[in-house]
Amino acid sequence: MDAEHMGDDLATVMFTEEQIQDRLRELAEQVWADYHDKDVLLLGVLKGAVMVMADFMRALPGSAEMDWMAVSSYGSGTKSSGVVRILKDLDTDITGRHVLIVEDIIDSGLTLSWISANLRSRGPASLEIVTLLRKPEAAKVEIDVRYVGFDIADEFVVGYGLDYAEKYRNLRVIGTLAPHVYS
Ligand code: 5GP
Ligand code: MG
Ligand code: MG
């Protein structure tokens, strides 16, 4: 789905496909410099991180494993509840593994902070985070994120895996919605 297929639902395009891909390639190079000599396990959080995982992973100049976890924290609204529940756990035993969480966006940080604590308790050799987007002004907890694509303003964005009420995940760009969509 392209921006022009959004009619007047899209207010602004924040990042084009090219900007997203260029930044993911840079992140992949950075990550590979740190992980080329390790057996890295990429851990995606469904469903938002699907596009980031697919493109980031293919931008890596070497092989990596992936696994997925599904949690609920948002419902269909736009505000984090802070309540996290595991809907689907990992298939992989991460004890002694080098785990890199692949995220679409860090907003309040509440979800990721909970996931990080949960994963740490399983004894990985290392645990780091790569996220395409981060909203520094929205942070409610301190999270040490090693690789960040773009810091953005505290606005709700959709596209490239990010939804509003399960819609717009297949939009190629990342953008903001017009006010009438929310009402
Ligand atoms: P947090 O717990 O950091 O507040 O948010 C966690 C999850 O909420 C993200 O992984 C994402 O699924 C969703 N989320 C946070 N901010 C946005 C946003 O601007 N747009 C969309 N579509 N989802 C968001
Ligand atoms: Mg996410
Ligand atoms: Mg969502």
Q: What is the CATH number of the domain that holds 134?
A: 3.40.50.2020
Considering its fold, how many domains does the chain have in total?
1
Q: Whose CA is nearest to atom 17 of ligand 1?
A: 156
**d(CA 155, ligand 1 centre) in Å:** 10
For the record, the structure tokens of 168 come out as 């717009």
Place of tokens 């309040």: 108
Residue 1 placed within a domain: no
Query: Would you say residue 101 lies in a domain?
Result: yes
Location of structure tokens 């789905």 = 1
- Burial of 37 from C-beta contacts in 10 A (0-12 / 13-18 / 19+): exposed
Does 64 map to a domain?
Answer: yes
- With respect to residue 175, please indicate whether it lies within any of the assigned structural domains: no
User: The tokens of 127 are what?
Assistant: 């645990």
- 39 flagged as catalytic: no
Confirm if 162 and 107 have CB atoms less than 8 A apart.
no
Residue 107 sits at φ, ψ, to 5 deg, of -105, -95
Q: What is the pTM of this model?
A: 0.94
Give pLDDT tens digits along the chain (183 positions): 999 999 999 999 999 999 999 999 999 999 999 999 999 999 999 999 999 999 999 999 999 999 999 998 755 556 666 678 899 999 999 999 999 999 999 999 998 999 999 999 999 999 999 999 999 999 999 999 999 999 999 999 999 999 999 999 999 999 999 999 998
For ligand 1, is residue 55 a contact (CB within 6 Å)? no
Range of the structural domain that residue 126 is part of: 17-156
- Residue 178 inside a domain? The answer is no
45, 52, 71, 80: which to mutate for ligand 1, most atoms within 8 A of CB? 80
In whole angstroms, give the CA distance from residue 159 to residue 155: 13
Which pLDDT score is estimated for 93?
98
Q: Which of 43, 107, 150 to mutate to test the pocket of ligand 1 (most atoms within 8 A of CB)?
A: 107
What is residue 74's DSSP assignment?
-
Burial class (CB in 10 A: 0-12, 13-18, 19+), 7: exposed
Find out whether the beta carbon of 84 lies less than 6 Å from any atom of ligand 1: no
